[in-house]
Structure 1
Amino acid sequence: MIKLCSKADTYSKSVAAIVYGLAIVSLFFASSVFHLFSLFYINGRLRSTLQLCDRIVICLFIAASYTPWLLLRDFHASWGLTALWSVWIAAIFGGAFQYVYLDRFQSVELMIYLAISICPAYSFIYMHEQSGLPLLITGALFYLFGVIFFKLDGHIPLAHAIWHCCVFIAIFLQFNAVDTFLITN
């Protein structure tokens, strides 16, 4: 986040850098705390609360990942702004769903994550400047590939660890795309 903010030379770039940077920090923090406590087999209310925070942050992170692209790029008509509002509303809905139904409807949870992740990408066909999209899409493919392992957790060894590796690679690729093609540019 500090790297992006230090390079931001406009107000919009600063907002995009802060939203995206805070989302990355929040994602890694929430996930790390939840998994740390899971190592010690802590059950009950604390574990459920940490898992809920982890899941809600994932929804918000997805929306924040789109924010720099939808805020800083020009679109035909109002596609960018419409997609920006839509992804944040969907993320809030996803977080609320997690709050109410945590782990009760796992297939629906997965569909919500995928919808929040994939639907806003439709707006990119209306984006005037396409530079950086191949790197963004490659990161998205790592997320989608990782979902396979996320769903296989408990069925094959190290599936959850592979999922986290895919997430790390995706964030690395997409961070570099945001840095190189949006903030620095």
Structure 2
Amino acid sequence: MQLKDMLHRGDRAMIYVFIAASYFPWLTIQPFPLTGWTAELWWIVWVLASLGILYQQLFHERYKCLETFFYLLMGIVPSIAIIKNAFSFQHDFSGLTELKIGGLLYILGVVFFKADGKIPCAHAIWHIFVVLAAGVHYYAILNYLYPTEVTQGSNP
């Protein structure tokens, strides 16, 4: 296996890690009612990420549409559960707008991810969408999930 192939596989594997890591704070810090499958979602996203990485390593570049479907499925299902819980339980869910915007940026970026080689600089544009989405999610996590004294710098 050549270095370029190893790096490409690692890049694709990190997409799964990135998706799981984007939702993990929302699923662990934000208090959810311990009912149904959403209570288990915090570990399900990591199992799905692990299975996605395994699939991607075994079938690298063979079934690209299926791989993209897995990325989208893993990116959309946790957000639906989080949004559903926020509305179902009348929970004060600050940061929901940022969570949606970040998810939308990831999804829009997939257009460029799939257009690699067809649109000039498509892969670079894809990475710009990833950075923007991650930045929006980071902003929301920092400002809404962590206590105020952490984000404003408390004095001892």
What does residue 157 of structure 1 align with? 120
Please, which moves more after superposition, 125-134 or 169-178?
Answer: 125-134
What's the TM-score, normalizing by structure 1? Answer: 0.72
| Residue 76 of structure 2 is aligned to residue 118 of structure 1 | yes
Structure 1 partner of 2:152: none
**2:71 is aligned with 1:108:** no
Gaps of at least 5 residues in structure 1 are 1-43
Give ranges in structure 2 of 5+ residues lacking alignment: 149-156
1:56 maps to 13
Higher helix proportion (structure 1 or 2): 1
Q: Partner of 2:132: helix, strand, or coil?
A: helix
- The correspondence of residues 16-35 of structure 1 with structure 2, limited to 5 A, is none
Distance 2:12 2:102 in 1: 20
Once the two structures are superposed, residues 35-66 of structure 1 have per-residue CA deviations (whole angstroms, 9 ceiling, x without a partner) of: xxxxxxxxx52111111111111101111111
Distance 2:116 2:77 in 1: 26
Structure 2 residue matching 1:52: 3-state secondary structure: helix
* RMSD of aligned Cα (Å): 1.4
* Aligned 8 A contact 2:33 2:39 in 1: no
Alignment partner, residue 143 of structure 2: 180
| 2:45 matched residue in structure 1 | 87
Q: Distance in 1 between matches of 2:26 and 2:131?
A: 20
Tell me the matched-pair count: 142
Q: How much does 1:80 deviate? A: 4.5
Runs of 4+ in structure 1 off by over 2 angstroms are 76-81
Aligned to 1:77: 34
Which stretch shifts more, 72-81 or 57-66? 72-81
Structure 2 distance, partners of 1:108, 1:162, is: 22
Partner of 1:113, secondary structure, is helix
The Cα of 1:75 is off from its aligned counterpart by 1.6
